[in-house]
Structure 1
Amino acid sequence: MEKGNFFVINSGTVESCMQDEPPLEKEGGSETAAGSCTSRSARGLLLNLYFNDLFGVSMVVPLLSHHIKSLGVSSTVSGVIGSMYGVLQLFSSTLVGSWSDVVGRRYSLLACILLSALGYGLLGISSNVYLFILARIPVGVFKHTLSISKALLSDLISEQDRPLVMGRFNAVSSMGFILGPVIGGYLTELEGGFYITSFTCSSIFILNAGLVWLLPWKENTATKRKNTAGSEENLAESHIQVLNQKNSSPIISANNEIMTWDIPQSLWTRIVSKIQKLQEVVRSRLWDILLIRFLMGVAVMLYYSNFALALEERFEMKPKMTGYLISYSSTLGALAGFLVGPVTKLYKNNTHIMLLHSSILTFFLMLLYSLMTNVWIVVLSASLFSISTTIGRTCVTDIELSQGGGKASGTLLGVGQSVTSVGRILAPLLSGIVQEFSPCGPPILGAVLALVAVLIMGTEQLHYTKLKKS
């Protein structure tokens, strides 16, 4: 129902803009008003597209481990398939980002949405493991719709309005993750439920493609690049940042014209550049925060990797109830964002101690979830886990920014994203291997990694203190 309401509202917005838009040949004020109307309708449509995307994906993702097991595949093979998806995402992000700069944001976004819809549609007919693998390939290569949407957003809003609009996008993403698992869990309990859920997700992506096609785009960015060289550089830079391509080769020529990239050469240049940046970070003794980010990131991924499947095997919990629990945890995680400020004041802005304490809490909660046989204790641990990980992620980002300094913070954040991407590749593989021994294997391994991160934080606390004083 909510998806329909979103579509109707924005259809009305688009239609009103098309009907009331004054001719551009008239006064400059009319042109400005028309551009403002188009910009508002585009932002509203992107907001709905963002919600629909996350809503659809969060319906399917919690059910993947259960479905692939129903196909008769071992946990190790399931982990290998999950890692393959991570590899495709990691290496295709650069190529899709370069391609979007060449063909334009609108057409690249449209193509990515349609090919992702194809992947989820194939997932709906995946009656064997080969069809399942085939279905994951287009999604792994082209599921960069959110990154391109953010790049489009940077075209449509001013730098002053960006924090407010991005805040709305983050709120919408939280709503998508909250509602998606509930609907997915409900649909899964129907006959052929997973296939219904997959086709529903595919239909949502097709709806998003229609929204992108209906939007009255105006190529204002081309005009801005011709008129304002400084604005052009800022826009291009923001696009690269959003697509995690901060260390790439230039795309703006000396004459302020967009250059067509040689994609293989650009990819090699970026790989070499990232290796050089990584060497600089290692030599600067900032490797510890990256290692902590990696260990805690993989630990959290292991916790969630077989969450729905483990609850069914350990407590015979139905998918609908699992969906309720995931949505409940997502709600707490979103609300925990409001606690970061007061907690930071309580710790007197000492984010290192905050990170240490939140990581210790995360370790004990993962251990509690793994060892307890009472479902209500598991629910309690899942509730607190969402809060501790939200605070921990915020602390890691803050430490990266503060310890990196004015010039190195961007590099450190970029390397941190690469470290997280590597974790997304390793986590499914490790999860599949340890699941061969026990459904509690992934969270137990995650607890071990979290404990290692805690020990590193304890030994490096003196180093943090010295850096802060300097």
Structure 2
Amino acid sequence: MCGSACSSPRRPRGRPRFLRCMYVVGFMDLFGVSMVIPLLSHHIKSLGASPTMAGIVGATYGILQLFSSTIVGSWSDGVGRRRSLLTCLLLSALGYALLGLSTSVALFVLARVPVGLFKHSLSICRALLSDLVSETERPLVMGHFNAASSVGFILGPVVGGYLAEREGGFYTSSFACATIFVLNAGLVWILPWNEIPGFASSQAARGDRPKQAVMNCSDGEGPPASVLQRVRAVASSDMWDVFLVRFFMAVAIMLYYSNFSLALEERFALRPQVAGYLISYSSMLGALAGCLVGPVTRLYGNDMAALLLHSTVLTCALIFLYATAHSVWHVVLSSTFFAISTTIGRTCVTDLELRRGGPGSSGTLLGAGQSVTAVGRVVAPLLSGLAQEVSPCGPPGLGVLLALAAVLLLLIRTPKWKKGGKAKHLKL
């Protein structure tokens, strides 16, 4: 992606070990978070908050994520991945520790602020991985990282649920999550950074500041761009089409799951427990699908645009199958392949954002992508509620329309991507 600095044919000896450590960081991150997330609504209710207040608190967290994603990503491009990742992990640990002390709604809200502002560790990890590998290796590495993270997200609720059954279980889970984030920061601190080419020499030349060419995949020429300049460069770039595809598909996927349990109960008289089994089954397949991204990408000759188009078409068809299902087995079939198609699609969108954005801006681009997804998290519940007024099949039916819009956009824009090559790199 970034020339000789980041895509040398010779693999550094310490890089495989570094990548494996990053997979562990991703696993521990989502393992800790998923221990707490399922317990949040019950805890804030136990503190005496009304459903409206609980909704406002949840929306506040989403808004903080929306505005901080791009800013923190841009900041990581400037100060380096190591420093920004350590900062995000430690401040997130502080937030979860405060959550373990929250005995009132006010403390609960206060605890969510540092997490809302700085829980971007996974995005920075992905930006770092993008810096370390070439374009051809990136889908494989990202797939493995997503798979490791997904396994953590599957196992975390099991441990969190077990702890929640004990007295003071929520507080125990919160402190356990904070401890995991501190351990993660320790792992990042002791990572073999000096085995990454250019890092040691850059420390000698710049004190303790990582070399931009290694840590941020930039050429290191000219003064470093400010956070505002990086954000402005993304906002004015010709990447609206990729971000719009991300938005359409994010909302479509959220609509698929928005009333999943309730719809299965109303349409097929299934208990919520069965819906939980289906979601867990789909999540496990999604984790396994992360390991398939590399081979599938090679099968497509590294043509990520074509792979994204085909995975989007498949996702659209599967949402339609679920929306029109006359049997539980149709739902099982759609859930089976839905996890695979969405996992591949997410990796493709991320890879296209990084390719078209150019060197030196991976943190900004990934942060902007997370902001787009955050907008989807705000919009999806509203659309789901309106569509559900019509029918239990309303939310996935609306998801089909959004996925079709993404397919049409890809059909129109993909030839232009191939004809024009890469998009004009961001001028930082």
TM-score range, shorter chain: 0.5 to 0.7
CA deviation map 1:387-445 (0-9, x unaligned)? 2322433555677789x6xx889999976862552331342354168559969999844
Tell whether 2:123 aligns with 1:144.
no
Q: Which has the higher contact order (CA 8 A, sep 6+)?
A: 2
2:51 counterpart SS class: coil
What amino acid is the match of 1:172? A
For residue 221 of structure 1, what is the aligned residue in structure 2? 199
Tell whether 2:106 aligns with 1:130.
yes
For residue 247 of structure 1, what is the aligned residue in structure 2? none
What is the distance in 2 between the residues matched to 1:120 and 1:311? 34
What amino acid is the match of 2:368? S
What amino acid is the match of 1:187? L
CA deviation map 1:436-467 (0-9, x unaligned)? 99699998446414413404634874665687
Q: CA deviation at 1:36?
A: 6.7
371, 374, 388: which one pairs with 1:421? 371
User: Per the alignment, do residues 415 and 445 of structure 1 end up closer, same or farther by CA in structure 2, a change over 3 Å counting?
Assistant: farther
Q: CA deviation at 1:295?
A: 0.9
Q: CA deviation at 1:77?
A: 2.5
What is the distance in 2 between the residues matched to 1:61 and 1:341? 33
Question: What is the percent sequence identity of the aligned residues?
Answer: 42
Tell whether 2:252 aligns with 1:299.
yes
CA deviation map 1:350-395 (0-9, x unaligned)? 5476245313224325636xx98x8877555443331232243355
217, 235, 239: which one pairs with 2:214? 235
Tell whether 2:414 aligns with 1:454.
no
1:247-396 matches, cutoff 5 A: 253=222, 266-277=226-237, 281=238, 287-304=240-257, 317=272, 325-337=278-290, 338=292, 351=307, 354-364=310-320, 367=323, 381-394=334-347, 396=349
What is the distance in 2 between the residues matched to 1:48 and 1:56? 12
Q: CA deviation at 1:66?
A: 5.2
User: Per the alignment, do residues 184 and 118 of structure 1 end up closer, same or farther by CA in structure 2, a change over 3 Å counting?
Assistant: same
CA deviation map 1:187-214 (0-9, x unaligned)? 3444554443323212212333444556
Q: CA deviation at 1:288?
A: 4.7
What is the distance in 1 between the residues matched to 2:121 and 2:295? 31
Q: CA deviation at 1:116?
A: 1.1
User: For the Cα contact (< 8 Å) 1:310–1:439, is it kept in 2?
Assistant: no
What is the distance in 1 between the residues matched to 2:185 and 2:358? 39
User: For the Cα contact (< 8 Å) 2:246–2:349, is it kept in 1?
Assistant: yes
For residue 160 of structure 2, what is the aligned residue in structure 1? 184
13, 30, 38: which one pairs with 1:54? 30
Larger mean CA deviation between 127-136 and 393-402 belongs to: 393-402
1:119 counterpart SS class: helix
CA deviation map 1:129-165 (0-9, x unaligned)? 433321211112222333445566689x686997576
For residue 4 of structure 1, what is the aligned residue in structure 2? none
What is the distance in 2 between the residues matched to 1:161 and 1:363? 30
What is the distance in 2 between the residues matched to 1:414 and 1:144? 12
CA deviation map 1:225-269 (0-9, x unaligned)? 6689xx95531432x7xxxxxxxxx97557xxxx6x8xxxx2332
CA deviation map 1:29-61 (0-9, x unaligned)? xxxxxx978x78766654433321121123233
User: For the Cα contact (< 8 Å) 1:188–1:197, is it kept in 2?
Assistant: yes
What amino acid is the match of 2:339? S
User: For the Cα contact (< 8 Å) 1:59–1:185, is it kept in 2?
Assistant: yes
Q: CA deviation at 1:332?
A: 0.7
User: For the Cα contact (< 8 Å) 1:351–1:395, is it kept in 2?
Assistant: yes
Q: CA deviation at 1:68?
A: 4.7
What amino acid is the match of 1:364? F
User: For the Cα contact (< 8 Å) 1:330–1:386, is it kept in 2?
Assistant: yes
Which protein shows a greater Rg? Answer: 1
Larger mean CA deviation between 199-208 and 286-295 belongs to: 286-295
1:79-158 matches, cutoff 5 A: 80-94=59-73, 96-97=75-76, 100-101=79-80, 105-106=82-83, 108-149=84-125
User: Per the alignment, do residues 327 and 144 of structure 1 end up closer, same or farther by CA in structure 2, a change over 3 Å counting?
Assistant: same
What is the distance in 2 between the residues matched to 1:152 and 1:122? 29
What is the distance in 1 between the residues matched to 2:100 and 2:213? 42
User: For the Cα contact (< 8 Å) 1:85–1:136, is it kept in 2?
Assistant: no
What is the distance in 2 between the residues matched to 1:341 and 1:352? 15
What is the distance in 1 between the residues matched to 2:265 and 2:146? 31
TM-score of the two chains, using structure 1 as the length reference: 0.63
1:436-455 matches, cutoff 5 A: 444-445=394-395, 447-455=397-405
User: Per the alignment, do residues 294 and 401 of structure 1 end up closer, same or farther by CA in structure 2, a change over 3 Å counting?
Assistant: same
User: For the Cα contact (< 8 Å) 1:233–1:252, is it kept in 2?
Assistant: no
72, 81, 105: which one pairs with 2:50? 72
- Would you say how many aligned residue pairs link Structure 1 and Structure 2? 395
What is the distance in 2 between the residues matched to 1:325 and 1:463? 35
What is the distance in 1 between the residues matched to 2:103 and 2:390? 27
Structure 2 runs not aligned, ≥5 long: 1-11, 421-428
CA deviation map 1:260-282 (0-9, x unaligned)? x8xxxx233223322321xxx2x
What is the distance in 2 between the residues matched to 1:353 and 1:161? 19
